[in-house]
Amino acid sequence: MSSDPYSPVVRDYFSKAPHAGDLADAVTVEIAEQGVRLRLAATEEDGRIRALRFRAWGCPHVIAACECFCVEYEGRPVQSFSGFQASDIMRILSVPVEKTGRILVLEDAVRSLGRVLCSDSAPQ
Amino acid sequence: MNDDLIYLDYAASTPIDPRVAEYLLDCRHTLFANPSSNHIAGRESRAGIAHAASQLSALLNVDPRTLIWTSGATESDNLGIAGGARYRAHRGKHLVTMPTEHKAVTDVFRMLEKQGFEVTWLEPDENGYLDPATFAAALRADTQLASIMYVNNETGVIQDIEAIGSVCREHDVLFHVDAAQAVGKIPIDLRALPVDLLSLTGHKFYGPKGIGALYLADRPGCHVEPILFGGGQQRQIRPGTLPADLICGLGLAAEIAASSIDSDLRHLVELRDTLWAGIRDIAGVLVNGDLEGGFPGILNVSVDNVEGESLLLELEPICVATGSACNSQSQEPSYVLRALGRSDLLAQSAIRFSLGRPTRREDVEIAARRYREAVARLRDLAPGAAA
Ordered structural domains, chain B, with CATH: 6-13+261-381 (3.90.1150.10), 18-256 (3.40.640.10)
pLDDT of B376 reads 97
Instruction: Report d(CA B89, CA B334) in Å as an integer.
Output: 32
Say if A88 falls within a structural domain.
yes
Among chain B residues, CA nearest to A19: B381
Average pLDDT for chain A: 92
CB contacts of A11 in chain B (<8 Å) are: 313
Find chain A residues with C-beta within 8 A of B384's C-beta. 55
Confidence (pLDDT) at B332? 72
Residues of B in contact with A17 (CB under 8 A): 381
Measured between beta carbons, which residues in chain B are less than 8 angstroms from residue A59?
307, 309-310, 331
Q: Quick check: is A1 in a domain?
A: no
The answer to whether residue A67 is domain-embedded is yes
Q: Mean pLDDT over residues A78-107, rounded?
A: 93
> Which domain range does residue A56 map to?
8-121
Residue of B nearest to A23 (CA): B387
ipTM: 0.93
Residue A107 lies in a domain: yes
Nearest CA in chain B to A3: B329
Q: Do A60 and B380 count as a contact with CB atoms less than 8 A apart?
A: no
* pLDDT score of B28 more than 60: yes
Interface of B with A (CB under 8 A): 305, 307, 309-310, 313, 331, 378, 380-385, 387
Residue A73 in domain: yes
Count up the domains in chain A and report the number. Answer: 1
Sorting pLDDT into bands at 50, 70 and 90, what band is B326?
very low
Cα B355 to chain centroid, rounded: 14
CATH number at residue A58: 3.90.1010.10
pLDDT higher than threshold 90 for residue B264: yes
Are the beta carbons of B383 and A17 separated by less than 8 Å? no
Residue B310 has pLDDT above 80, yes or no: yes
- A33 interfacial to chain B (CB closer than 8 Å): no
In a domain, A53, yes or no: yes
Answer whether B274's CB lies under 8 Å from B365's CB: yes
Tell me the whole-structure pTM to 2 decimals: 0.92
- Which pLDDT tens digit goes with each residue over A38-70? 999 999 999 999 999 999 999 999 999 999 999
Domain contains A2: no
Helix residue ranges, H only, chain B: 18-30, 40-60, 73-87, 103-114, 132-138, 161-170, 244-279, 308-315, 335-339, 344-348, 361-381
